[in-house]
Amino acid sequence: MSKTAYVTDLRTLQGECTANYLRLTRLLGDLEAGETREVELVNDGRRLGALCLKIQERAPYTSIVRVSQRGVLDGLIETPRMRVHLYHDVRMAEVTDFQRQRHFDGRYRYPNARMHQPDEKLQLNRFLGEWLDHGLAHGHSLDLPELP
């Protein structure tokens, strides 16, 4: 039985990055560099925490956003956080830093020293998409119109 190497699915990765750009721009609205938006996550009337979005840098073609979460498990576990680059000219958002790890390759040989999955970059961008979708579906913010 021969093993075939993982081939990066660029179309899927680009689609995920484009969808994440749309999700983030909807959540960020007109925030400027240095400003933060917190989206309270609520389910059945219970507060689950907050999705925190901070614009670290904003330029005409690129913005950098820090995405993190705070909630009931703060102090017990390391909460997820990532840095996302928004490329305004191509309308894409890409995860460039996750839990203090940077520069993810499009594919990895498996196994590897850091135990990254062969499609680690795609999985990180999918996770961001699911996280943002949850914020859009279950989030409430005082300075945003109600999210659907």
In a domain, 1, yes or no: no
* HSE-CB for 51 with a 13 A CA cutoff: 22
What is the structure's pLDDT at 75? 66
Q: Is position 2 within any domain?
A: no
pLDDT in tens, the chain (148 residues): 556 666 677 899 899 999 999 999 999 999 999 999 999 988 788 887 899 999 999 999 999 999 998 886 666 666 788 999 999 999 999 999 887 666 666 665 666 576 556 677 888 899 999 999 988 987 776 455 454 4
pTM summary value: 0.80
Instruction: Provide the domain limits for residue 32.
Output: 10-139
pLDDT of residue 148: 47
Q: Give a yes or no: residue 148 inside a domain.
A: no
In total, how many domains does the chain have?
1
Amino acid letter, 117: Q
For residue 100, the one-letter residue type is R
Residue 145, SS3 per DSSP: coil
Q: Distance between CA 113 and CA 89 in Å, rounded?
A: 35
Confirm whether 94 is domain-assigned. Answer: yes
Evaluate whether residue 4 is within a structural domain: no
Residue 21 maps to a domain: yes
65 within a domain of the structure (yes/no): yes
The answer to the question of residue 5 being in a domain is no
Share of the chain above pLDDT 70, in %: 72
Question: What DSSP designation does 111 have?
Answer: S
